[in-house]
Structure 1
Amino acid sequence: MRRDALYFPGLVPTKFSAIEDFLRTSDHARARIEVADDVLGYSLLDAYAEAEVYDWEVYESGFLVLTLALADWALDHVELDPVLCGGQSFGAIIAAVFSGALSYEDGLRLVRASAAVELDYFAAVPEPLGCLFFYRLDSRTVDALVADFPGELEVSIYLDDSVHAVSGTLADLQLFEDRVRESGGYPFYTMNRSEHCSTVRPLRDRLETEVYDRVSWNSPKWPMLSDVSGRLLTDPAEIEEDLLDGWVTPVRWSTVVEGMRAARAEHAHIIGPRNMFARITNNALPTDVITPKKVADHPSATAKRVHR
């Protein structure tokens, strides 16, 4: 059998209407939701349906449930021989749960507790922080723009050579957004918190003592590919530290691709609600996506609808 890499993208806020059908009709989703409702103490579907984009606990819990359910489906319906499991940014937490480094229940508790600490931290900083996402500029241009900017900005994400994110104060990011446009770039999203940058080191340290050290970490079923170093991790303590260090280390998709190559992965399966990540690894190794649409179009779903 071929050597497969299972990979979970970072959180992209997704409207409930776009994924509602999968969450309500999939047996895999219903099983995940039942546990989530019990751990969280409320109906996650009801909360997700009413959530705003910055309701972090609900959006992150919903994304966790959705993505894990897609991965559960893939194990049942796609011929897989995983040699590694990994994730980018928030996706690394999903990978930790799916690989068994964290129990599902502890993963939900970690998401809830982390959201509370993050909200407290960002509410207390002297100036509001954010993260600006944009595309159509190459990495060299982005680095030059940041270096020439008079404020204190850091590049947080090099998703490929055209999609980037920069963190800093919201005031500086508003000015930087103009420079991105003037240089031919296209800003498309500003998040109300910074991430993957040295500025949030105090948050990383708070999360370690207040959240991550209070859940149990285990040896994973498959080695976890670090999006920080590109290394394969199997030691529970290393996995915990790696997830925390993701807060203060820029995401570089090239690091992930190089890690897949080093592990001799032959095929990548990108698991999540959207397929935008497929094009990134396609140049390195064959890639397919596991999305709600793929589930809906699968023969098993057609047979199930006919049976009903």
Structure 2
Amino acid sequence: MADVVYFPGLVPTTFATIETYLRTDIYARARLREADEVLGYSLVDAYRDAEVYDWEVYEAGVLALSLALADWADDNLDLDPVAFGGQSFGAIVGAVWAGVLPYPDALRLVRESTRVELDWFGSRPAPLGCFFFYRLDAVTVDGLIARARAEGHVVEGSIYLDNSVHAVSGTSTGLDRMRELVAEAGGHAFYSMNRAEHCSLVQGLRDRLAAEVYRDLRWFRSSLPMLSDVSGALLTDPDDIRDDLLDGWVTPVHWAAVSAAIRRAGADRAVVIGPRTMFGRLTQRTVPTAVLTPRSVLEHPATAFRLPAPAGAARVPAVAAASGGAR
């Protein structure tokens, strides 16, 4: 088997849905202990009281949780990874999993990036944010963006997933107008963030993060290629991966580029690791896919899990969820 291991981007996940896993799973507890030492506080307690807008806590929590799932997979699954990747923040999780960025450095990246981001966004003349929605195709979305811009609003397309899930960044007034246009077109709002991403509006932030945060961390060559969600390139050089993570701030995400990279890497199966299952259906359209979540680890005995076989191949036993799996 040739597997690609993929880590999703940040998706709102309530503490109640993952509390049992974080407090009882041995892998999660180990990752949380190390995080507590680096951050200087109890991450699980902070996550309990946090919202998605508490960037440091939320990102560090997702990082610890996702890596704990990957640790479980290391000990329980029989995979043959040929590449890894991640969407947006998931690419940072993937870099840690692949040994490109040490876990303590990733936690420092989260902490210091939050400091810079809060300062940069707080100094903007108008608030910037990002609005996620679904059930509209890319052509329609681009048309709505063009209409809002023609009306004088500042908005840019940020994320194009699966030709049905999208995100637009812009000023608060521009995003308010996009919500109206999306609703009129039959789309459904998902959630909003109080920061813009994957767009040219944050070029200044990208440059500050490069100078004040990323250059002071340790980056190592990867033994596996990383699937860039910026360009679709396959990267192993540490400087290239670091710069790709930074460029993700200013470049729209197009899932088609990731799909093409999965094919170029020669993967015939994908394992998606994270707190939610949303991304499984994206990779499923390219290769057979398993999704590993806290729920799949808690609710299914390891011996009952099976990874999907590549298309046209016989199904082979392995330890993985019917909807789950990982390295």
Q: Structure 1 length as normaliser, TM-score?
A: 0.96
Answer whether contact 1:131 1:195 (CA < 8 A) is retained: yes
Query: What SS class does the counterpart of residue 282 from structure 2 fall into?
Result: helix
Which AA in structure 2 matches 1:196? H
Query: What SS class does the counterpart of residue 37 from structure 2 fall into?
Result: helix
Task: Name stretches of at least 5 consecutive residues in structure 2 with no aligned partner.
Answer: 305-327
Query: What SS class does the counterpart of residue 216 from structure 1 fall into?
Result: coil
What is the alpha-carbon distance in structure 1 between the residues aligned to residue 218 and residue 269 of structure 2?
A: 31
Query: What SS class does the counterpart of residue 57 from structure 1 fall into?
Result: helix
- Counterpart in 2 of 1:306? none
1:202-241 pair list within 5 angstroms: 202-241=204-243
What is the alpha-carbon distance in structure 2 between the residues aligned to residue 88 and residue 53 of structure 1?
A: 17
Query: What SS class does the counterpart of residue 131 from structure 1 fall into?
Result: strand
1:73-222 pair list within 5 angstroms: 73-149=72-148, 150=151, 151-222=153-224
1:269 is aligned to 2:271: yes
Answer whether contact 1:196 1:249 (CA < 8 A) is retained: yes
Spell out, residue by residue over 1:80-107, the C-alpha distance to the aligned partner (whole angstroms, 9 max, x if none): 1100111000001101111111001101
What is the alpha-carbon distance in structure 2 between the residues aligned to residue 222 and residue 75 of structure 1?
A: 15
- Counterpart in 1 of 2:280? 278
What is the alpha-carbon distance in structure 2 between the residues aligned to residue 175 and residue 230 of structure 1?
A: 32
Query: What SS class does the counterpart of residue 78 from structure 2 fall into?
Result: coil
What is the alpha-carbon distance in structure 2 between the residues aligned to residue 25 and residue 14 of structure 1?
A: 18
What is the alpha-carbon distance in structure 2 between the residues aligned to residue 221 and residue 60 of structure 1?
A: 25
Spell out, residue by residue over 1:257-287, the C-alpha distance to the aligned partner (whole angstroms, 9 max, x if none): 1100011101000100111111112121100
Q: Give the length in aligned residue pairs.
A: 301
Which AA in structure 1 matches 2:138? S
- Counterpart in 2 of 1:251? 253
Which AA in structure 2 matches 1:263? A
1:40 is aligned to 2:42: no
What is the alpha-carbon distance in structure 1 between the residues aligned to residue 299 and residue 133 of structure 2?
A: 31
What is the alpha-carbon distance in structure 2 between the residues aligned to residue 249 and residue 226 of structure 1?
A: 11
Task: Quote how far apart the aligned CAs of 1:297 are.
Answer: 2.6
Task: Name stretches of at least 5 consecutive residues in structure 1 with no aligned partner.
Answer: 303-308
Answer whether contact 1:295 1:301 (CA < 8 A) is retained: no
Spell out, residue by residue over 1:187-234, the C-alpha distance to the aligned partner (whole angstroms, 9 max, x if none): 121111100000100000000000000101101232211111111111
Stretches of 4+ aligned residues off by more than 3 angstroms: none
- Counterpart in 2 of 1:22? 21
Query: What SS class does the counterpart of residue 100 from structure 1 fall into?
Result: coil
Query: What SS class does the counterpart of residue 133 from structure 1 fall into?
Result: strand
What is the alpha-carbon distance in structure 1 between the residues aligned to residue 295 and residue 71 of structure 2?
A: 15
Which AA in structure 2 matches 1:18? T
Query: What SS class does the counterpart of residue 197 from structure 2 fall into?
Result: coil
Query: What SS class does the counterpart of residue 158 from structure 1 fall into?
Result: strand
What is the alpha-carbon distance in structure 2 between the residues aligned to residue 257 and residue 75 of structure 1?
A: 24
- Counterpart in 2 of 1:31? 30
Which AA in structure 2 matches 1:265? A
Task: Quote how far apart the aligned CAs of 1:126 are.
Answer: 0.3
What is the alpha-carbon distance in structure 2 between the residues aligned to residue 52 and residue 136 of structure 1?
A: 26
Task: Quote how far apart the aligned CAs of 1:52 are.
Answer: 2.5
- Counterpart in 1 of 2:320? none
The alignment yields a C-alpha RMSD, in angstroms, of 1.2
Query: What SS class does the counterpart of residue 13 from structure 2 fall into?
Result: coil
Query: What SS class does the counterpart of residue 6 from structure 1 fall into?
Result: strand
What is the alpha-carbon distance in structure 2 between the residues aligned to residue 43 and residue 6 of structure 1?
A: 29
- Counterpart in 2 of 1:297? 299
What is the alpha-carbon distance in structure 1 between the residues aligned to residue 12 and residue 190 of structure 2?
A: 13
Give % identity. 60
Higher helix share: 1
Which AA in structure 2 matches 1:113? E
Answer whether contact 1:13 1:59 (CA < 8 A) is retained: no
What is the alpha-carbon distance in structure 2 between the residues aligned to residue 93 and residue 47 of structure 1?
A: 21
Query: What SS class does the counterpart of residue 175 from structure 1 fall into?
Result: helix
Task: Quote how far apart the aligned CAs of 1:300 are.
Answer: 4.0
Task: Quote how far apart the aligned CAs of 1:301 are.
Answer: 9.1
Answer whether contact 1:131 1:191 (CA < 8 A) is retained: yes
What is the alpha-carbon distance in structure 1 between the residues aligned to residue 97 and residue 300 of structure 2?
A: 22
- Counterpart in 2 of 1:54? 53
